[in-house]
A and B are shown apart, each in its own frame.
Chain A
Amino acid sequence: MAISSTLTAPRRAFFAGPVVPRIVAGLVILVAWEIVVRRFAPSYVATPSGVIAAFPSVVVSAPFLAALGQTLGAVAEGLAIAIVLGTFIGLLMGRSALGEQVLRHYINACYAMPMLVVLPLFSLWFGYSGAARLATIVFAAIFSIIVSVADGARSVPKDYIEVARSFGASRMRMLFEIVLPASMPYFLAGLRLAGGRALIGAVVAEFFTAIGGLGYFILYNSRTFHHDEAFVAVLFLAAFGVAIDVLINWSTRRFLPWYRRDDRVE
C-alpha cells in the first residue's frame, strides 16, 4: 500500500453558515480565557484584553514588520522553489515507470519523516542563516507537492493520452496541455498541505537558528515575558495558515469548476 496524497474535495466555504452562534461561542471562549488567566496564571501570560491592547502598537512597530517581511519572503521563496522542483520530480514519477521505481521509496521516506529532524543538520550545512531557513522550508513543502503531482499525473485518463497520440501530439504538448491541466486539482490539494508545512518550517527554523522572523519574534518576546506582544505574531501566523486554506479552496472552486468529487445534495 503506497503512501499517497489524499485528495480532499473542495469543500463548500467553511465560513458559510449561521453567524450568531459563532460570535457567541467566540465571545464565550475569549471571556473564559480572560477569567482563567487572571485567576490562575502569572500576570505575564497573554490575555485577550492584553493582546487587543498590544495589537495596534505591535503591528506598526519596526521589529514586527521586519520579522513579518522576512518570514513571508522566505516562505514565498521556498514555496516557489518547492513548486518548480516538486512539479518536475512529480511528473517524472507519475509519467515514467522507471522514475517511479527509482524515486518512490526515497520520496516516501522523506515524506514520512518529521521535517524537524533535519534542522540540526541543515543548520550545520547551511550555517545559522537564512539559507538554513530556506532549505528547511523547501524540504518541508516539496514532498507533498511531489506526491500529489505524481498522483495527479498518474490519474490522467488513458483516453486523453491516446487521442492526443493519435493526433500526433508531441510529448511536450501532451505534458503541458493534457497531463498538467488534468493533474491540477491534485496539485492544488498538495499545495494546500505544502503551504501549511512551509509556514511551520519557517517558524521552527527561526526557533532553532534564532534568525529574524515571526518565529524568532515569538521566541524573543515570550522569553522576555511579553506574551501579549508575542501572541500578536501567533495571530498573524494563524491568519496565514487559514488564508492559504481558503485561497486554495476558492481557486479550486473558481478555476476548476468541473472538478467535484462529492455531488452532495443538501
Chain B
Amino acid sequence: MARWRAALVRQAPFVLSLVAGAALWEVVGRNTNAAFMAPLSETVVRLVQLTASGELPREALSSAALFSTGLALGIVVGMPFGLLLARVKWLREALDVYIMVLYATPLVALIPFILSIFGFGFWPKVLVVFLFSVFPVLYNTIEGARSIKPELIEVARSYRSREWALWREVMVPYTLPFTMTGIRQAIGRALVGMVAAEFFLSATGLGQLIMTATQNFDTAAVFSAVLLIVAAGMILMRLGVALEAHFAKWRG
C-alpha cells in the first residue's frame, strides 16, 4: 500500500497536468465557435465514430503504406551507399559536401517540381518520403565513417585483413551506430514527408482526411486525425530512440 501511495504522489503532477490540459481543452472548445475549436469530448466521440465507420483505419493504413515504403527505400538506399562512401575515401570526399547541402536544404521546396514532373500517383509521393529520409541516413553514416580512426584500418591492413573481414570487423561496427542516429532522424522526417506529400501532391490518407475535415469545418475530425498522427509519431520516435540507444553501446 505504501509503495502504491508513494507512486501515486510521485505521479500526481503528471496526472494533474493531464487532467488540467483536458479540462482546458474542453472549456476552451465549448466557449469557441465550433468551426474553430472542438472540445475534447466531441473529439473523442468523433474519433470513435470515425474508427467505427472504418474511415480512420482505412486512411491511416494508406498513410502507413506511404510512410513505410518511403522510409524503407530511404534506409535500403542510404545505408549501403553510406557504407560504400565510408570505405571509398575519394568518393566520400567528392560527394560529402553535396550530401551535406541536401541534408540542410528544406526539401519541401522540391514538391512543386515533383508534382509537375511526376504527377499525382503513389510513387511521386513515395519519392517525397524517400527524399526526406535518405539524407539523414547518408549524412550520419558519413559522419560515422569520418570518426573511424585511420589506425584501425592500418592495423587491419598490416595484419593482411581481407576486405570482407575489414567491413565486418571495422567499417560496419564503427559506422552503424551513426547510421542508427540517421535512421532515428529519418523516421521523424519521413513522417513530415508523408504529411507534406498528402497535403501538396494528391490528397490521400490522413492528410486528405484533415484537409476535407477542415474544409467542412469538422474540427473534431481534424483533431481526431491529428491525435492519431501525434500518437504514431511518439511511438515511432521512441522506437527510433531505442534503436539508437541499442547501437550506441558500440560507439568507441
A residues near B, CB below 8 A?
1, 3, 6, 11, 14-15, 17-18, 21-22, 24-26, 29, 41-42, 44-46, 98, 101-106, 108-110, 112-121, 123-125, 196, 199-200, 203-204, 207-208, 214-215, 218-219, 222-223, 225, 227, 230-231, 233-234, 237-238, 241-242, 244-245, 262, 264-266
Chain B residues with CB under 8 A of A117: 195, 210, 225-226, 229-230
B100 within 8 A of A: yes
Tell me if A's interface is mostly helix, strand, loop or mixed: helix
Question: How distant is the Cα of A109 from the Cα of B93 in the complex, in angstroms?
Answer: 39
Number of B residues, CB within 8 Å of A = 61
Chain B residues with CB under 8 A of A106: 17, 21
Q: List 8 A-B contacts (CB under 8 A).
A: A18-B93, A102-B13, A117-B230, A124-B219, A125-B36, A208-B200, A234-B110, A238-B101
User: Is the pair A237, B105 in contact by a Cβ cutoff of 8 Å?
Assistant: yes
B residues near A, CB below 8 A?
13-14, 16-18, 21, 35-36, 90, 93-98, 100-102, 104-106, 108-113, 115-117, 143, 147, 149-150, 181, 188, 191-192, 194-196, 199-200, 210-211, 214, 217, 219, 222, 225-226, 229-230, 233-234, 236-238, 241-242, 245
Question: How distant is the Cα of A34 from the Cα of B214 in the complex, in angstroms?
Answer: 42
User: Is the pair A46, B113 in contact by a Cβ cutoff of 8 Å?
Assistant: yes
Question: How distant is the Cα of A223 from the Cα of B222 in the complex, in angstroms?
Answer: 28
From known contacts A116-B196, A237-B106, infer whether A101 and B230 are also in contact, taking CB-CB under 8 Å. no
User: Is the pair A225, B116 in contact by a Cβ cutoff of 8 Å?
Assistant: yes
User: Is the pair A101, B13 in contact by a Cβ cutoff of 8 Å?
Assistant: yes
Chain B residues with CB under 8 A of A14: 96-97, 100
Which of these, A24, A45, A115, A120, contacts B192 with CB under 8 Å? Answer: A115
User: Is the pair A203, B106 in contact by a Cβ cutoff of 8 Å?
Assistant: yes
Chain B residues with CB under 8 A of A215: 108-109
User: Is the pair A101, B17 in contact by a Cβ cutoff of 8 Å?
Assistant: yes
From known contacts A18-B93, A242-B101, infer whether A200 and B106 are also in contact, taking CB-CB under 8 Å. yes
